[in-house]
Amino acid sequence: MTKEDFLEGQLLLVDKPLGWSSFQAVNKLKWVIRKKFNLKKIKIGHAGTLDPLATGLLLICTGKFTKTISELQGQVKEYTGTITLGATTPSYDLETEIDQVYATEHITSEFIIDTTKHFLGEIAQRPPVFSALKKDGKRLYEYAREGKEVFINTRMVTVSEFEIVKIDLPKVYVRIVCSKGTYIRSLAHDFGAALNSGGHLSELRRTKIGDYNVHNALDPLDFEEKMLGKV
C-alpha cells in the first residue's frame, strides 16, 4: 500500500494481542505508517474498544475512513470466551482479584444450557464499574480504583446467540453474538448469579464484527515487519 492509500483511507483488520490496550494497537500502527512514509501526522482510530485482557478483532481506520468508525461500531459482534463459575471479581474479569467464592456442586449441564435462554434477545444489562464509560465527566474505572461507589444505570442490549461450546466445570466455554454496547464481562457475572453461584470472565476473544473476521486480521507486530522489514 502507498502513502496515498493510507491518507485517502484504509480499513485495517488487527488481531489485538493479549495485554495490549486498543489504544496501544492504534498507536503501533500509527507509528509504523508515519515511519514508513515519513509522515508528520495521519488520522487513525479504532471502531470498538477491546479490554487489555481480551484478544481478537480490532478494526482500525485511517484517513477518510475514520468517518466510518461510528457505522462500524454499530455492527453485530461475535465473541468466544470462558466463564469461570464459583467466584466473582469486582471487575467481572481477571483484571482484579477474586472477592467472593460460591458453591458449584448444584450446577448441572442442563441447568447451564437452560439458563442461557434467559440471556437471549433484548436484555437489561448493567455495565461493569471497571469500565471506560463516563459518569459526570470521569471514567467509571477511576471511581472504582478510588474505592468510590457509583450508581450505574442498566441499558438495553441484544444477545442473538449464546452457545455453550463446552462445559468443564468450573469453566464454561461460550460463543456469543451480540449488539453494540454489550459487556461480555457483565454477561459472565450475571450468568453466574443466575446459576445461584458466582461467575467471572476468564478469557475473551472477539472473532467477528459484522462481516469482518479475525481470520483475516494481522498481528500489529506482523504489520510492523511487513511495512518496515525486520526490526
Question: Annotated catalytic, 51?
Answer: yes
Percent share of the chain, pLDDT over 90: 84
- Which stretches of the chain score pLDDT less than 70? 131-133, 140-141, 143-144, 230-231
- The answer to whether the 3-74+211-228 and 77-209 domains have the same CATH topology is yes
- Amino acid 151: pLDDT: 72
Amino acid at 107: I
> Cell digits for 229?
522489514
Q: Would you state the pLDDT for residue 231?
A: 54
Alpha helices in the chain (DSSP H): 3-8, 22-37, 69-73, 109-116, 140-145, 184-194, 220-228
Q: Active site residue: 5, 15, 51, 168, which one?
A: 51
User: What is the residue extent of each domain of the chain?
Assistant: 3-74+211-228, 77-209
Q: Identify the pLDDT of residue 117.
A: 97
Q: How far apart are CA 175 and CA 18, in angstroms?
A: 19
DSSP letter at 120?
Answer: S
The strand pairing partners of 122, in sequence order, are 158
Predicted confidence at residue 149, as pLDDT, reads 73
Instruction: Could you please state the CATH topology (level 3) that the domain comprising 3-74+211-228 is classified under.
Output: Pseudouridine synthase (3.30.2350)
What CATH topology corresponds to 77-209?
A: Pseudouridine synthase (3.30.2350)
So what's the pLDDT on residue 230? 63
The three grid cell numbers given for residue 32, joined into one nine-digit string: 509504523
